[in-house]
Structure 1
Amino acid sequence: MGLQLVAVGLLVLTALASLSEAQHQQHGDQNIPWGKPGQTDQTEQTKQGKQLQWRFPALIIVDPPPGVTVDIVIPPPPDSINVRCEEQKVLVEVDMDFFGTGRMINPELLSLGGCPVSMVDNNAKMLFLESDLHGCGSMSHTTDDELIYALTLLYSPPTEGGTGIVRESPAVVGIECHYPRIHQTMVGPLIPLWTPYSAKRAREEYFLFFMFLMMDDLVTVRETTDFKLGEMIYIQATVLQFYHVPLRVYVDNCVAKPYNEEGSDSSVSYAFIDNHGCMKDAQVTGSSSRFLKRNRDDTISIMLEAFRFADSDQISITCTLKATPVSRPPDSAHKACSYLPGSGWAILEGSDSQCRCCDSTCSGDEGGSDDGKQQGPVSEPGDMWSEATIGPIRVNKKRRN
């Protein structure tokens, strides 16, 4: 029984295989090609027993009429913006015919990084805008070779009269200024073409003049103002400067007066320096008073032998101090001359011949004249002067041993 069933199954399978082969021979191979559309001219599909065909459409080419040449021309953008990058700011010129259509733009609608138009030239139909390199929304960045500042020129037209339509397009134009980070110059000194800052600052700068009582080392400020007759009083005058060119200070004149609780008595005085820097105390009294060698151009030191007035043991000293550029050589109005007993006049720096006028009158011209003593400071270009006072200084009658 089992063998009979197996035999029947084999007969059924054989019949089905014969039927499938017959159908395959009837219809043939209908495999659909899967290549690219450009590689075949026809694609066949089978649907419900009908064969469909599809082709790519042919390219339609229209030839121009005989004797006519067609050239496609792209119009260049209108040259309506000029930019000039300066050392500290950016200047932008914009043609009012911004789009090259003959329609003038409204200056109020144009801005440079939010900054409005600075000037309108209706005759030339030009708009002018400017900005500092760090202003008007400027942004900066650096490369290996350049420092770049970037700004934005913006044109924002509104709608026409609330109609919701516009007849101009908004425009955003990027503007950049490139500055080289490395400059090469020729070997040798460079002479500036601009006015030096110190020359400008000199016209507006304040100068501070001071006088101090010093110890004999000319370094330490003396704390006491008490002296004895014959003791040396060391006075140091200096000028405090800031941005100015280097200065040399002179003592134009010094006057001592008696001092009491009400102040200085102007009825009695003794000028131990006058005539623009002539220290005559040694010539008049035979003392050892003189100018001392400088350590700095902006400082000058005096060694004055202590004295007192007959009716007062306190004195005050007022000096006129004058400062002039170091580049100016000493002359008869800019000098520090001391009288050395047995030798005569000697200058602190320069030529002793500039002290010859100390016995007459000293002026800006070397040698001076003989018509009386010069009073007050000489005001010459480049000179700065002021008065300074120290005191009261008490001088005891007991002489120094």
Structure 2
Amino acid sequence: MWQHVNRDRSGAVVRIECHYPRMHNVSSNVLVPTWVPYAASKVAEERLDFSLKLMTEEWQFERPSNQYFLGDIVNIEATVKTYNHVPLRLFVDRCVATVSPDVNSAPRYSFIENNGCLVDAKFTSSSSRYLPRTQIDKLQFHLEAFRFQQANSGLVYITCILKAVPVATPTNSEQKACSFSPTGWVSVDESDQVCGCCDSTCSSSSASDQVLGDLRWKQASVGPLNVKDFGYGL
């Protein structure tokens, strides 16, 4: 499905192809993409606190304002706090942006997909990327502020699936954090080879859900971001 996202301060429109996983075989019927949470329903006995926050430019504090201009860098931080638990490594499995709190609403834009591939830079040549880890239980990334061309409000809600695995678990195609660069996909952790599937399919939904039965995960949201045209109100 194609969505038009406006990020250029000059008013140019970037045409973005959004990819959604098929949950069943499709012939001539219209495919209606939906956000499907992980099938795993087991709740961990240990206490884990997941969070997703907008951060200030220096990454020291939670950002007090939700207002941005087109092209601004949005600092987003995902964390997991553990209590009486083995150390965990945090990943952002997928994220979508929407104009309402309903994650299945349209228009919508998937900017992290395929089990941790931050695809925004690939689609739009933006500077969106993961930052090097400062803590194993924290993951930070940049997202260039944008507006949906179809919506006049400039509001953007961001919903992500966060997941945590034991630190001793090696990164792989289903647990990774990969950014797109001019030279290809780059991992924030070990070998960049785990990013090799970012241009294709990293796992089937059924296989991913089976693996996640032993993982800790949560759906988290931030927003709405209020993204204004450059120079708005001046």
Q: TM-score, normalised by structure 1?
A: 0.44
Higher relative contact order (CA 8 A, sep 6+): 2
* Change in CA separation of 1:374 and 1:231 when aligned onto 2, cut-off 3 Å: farther
Q: Which runs of 4+ in 1 moved over 6 A?
A: none
1:206 Cα offset (Å):
3.0
* Residue type at the aligned position of 2:185: W
Q: Equivalent of 1:218, from 44, 51, 59?
A: 59
Question: 1:267 maps to which residue?
Answer: 106
Tell me whether 1:250 sits opposite 2:94 in the alignment: no
* Change in CA separation of 1:203 and 1:288 when aligned onto 2, cut-off 3 Å: closer
Question: 2:219 maps to which residue?
Answer: 387
Distance 1:286 1:250 in 2: 23
1:376 Cα offset (Å):
9.8
Q: Equivalent of 2:142, from 303, 321, 333?
A: 303
Distance 1:327 1:293 in 2: 19
Does the CA-based 8 Å contact 1:333-1:378 persist in structure 2? no
1:374 Cα offset (Å):
5.0
* Change in CA separation of 1:356 and 1:256 when aligned onto 2, cut-off 3 Å: same
Distance 2:147 2:81 in 1: 31
* Residue type at the aligned position of 1:218: W
Structure 1: gaps of 5 or more residues: 1-201, 364-372
Q: Equivalent of 1:327, from 154, 168, 176?
A: 168
Does the residue aligned with 2:121 lie in a helix, a strand or coil? Answer: helix
1:329 Cα offset (Å):
1.0
Q: Equivalent of 2:191, from 351, 358, 367?
A: 351
Higher strand share: 2
Q: 1:2-401 alignment to 2 at 5 Å?
A: 204-259=45-100, 263-264=101-102, 266-310=105-149, 311=151, 312-340=153-181, 342-363=182-203, 378-380=209-211, 382-398=214-230
Does the CA-based 8 Å contact 1:226-1:395 persist in structure 2? yes
Does the CA-based 8 Å contact 1:320-1:377 persist in structure 2? no
Deviations 1:207-251 (A, max 9, x none): 221111001221211100000000000000011210110000000
Q: TM-score, normalised by structure 2?
A: 0.74
Aligned residues: 186
Bigger radius of gyration, 1 or 2?
1
Does the CA-based 8 Å contact 2:126-2:144 persist in structure 1? yes
* Change in CA separation of 1:228 and 1:247 when aligned onto 2, cut-off 3 Å: same
1:397 Cα offset (Å):
0.9
Question: 1:87 maps to which residue?
Answer: none
Higher helix share: 1
* Change in CA separation of 1:343 and 1:245 when aligned onto 2, cut-off 3 Å: same
* Residue type at the aligned position of 1:356: G
Deviations 1:19-52 (A, max 9, x none): xxxxxxxxxxxxxxxxxxxxxxxxxxxxxxxxxx
* Change in CA separation of 1:317 and 1:266 when aligned onto 2, cut-off 3 Å: same
* Residue type at the aligned position of 1:253: R
* Change in CA separation of 1:347 and 1:203 when aligned onto 2, cut-off 3 Å: same
* Change in CA separation of 1:244 and 1:267 when aligned onto 2, cut-off 3 Å: same
* Residue type at the aligned position of 1:302: F
Does the CA-based 8 Å contact 1:361-1:374 persist in structure 2? no
Does the CA-based 8 Å contact 2:99-2:106 persist in structure 1? no
Distance 2:67 2:119 in 1: 24
Deviations 1:338-358 (A, max 9, x none): 001x21111111111111100
* Identity of matched residues, %: 41
Distance 2:180 2:207 in 1: 21
Does the residue aligned with 2:230 lie in a helix, a strand or coil? Answer: strand
1:205 Cα offset (Å):
1.5
Distance 1:238 1:288 in 2: 22
Distance 2:47 2:60 in 1: 25
Please provide the CA RMSD for this pair.
Answer: 2.1
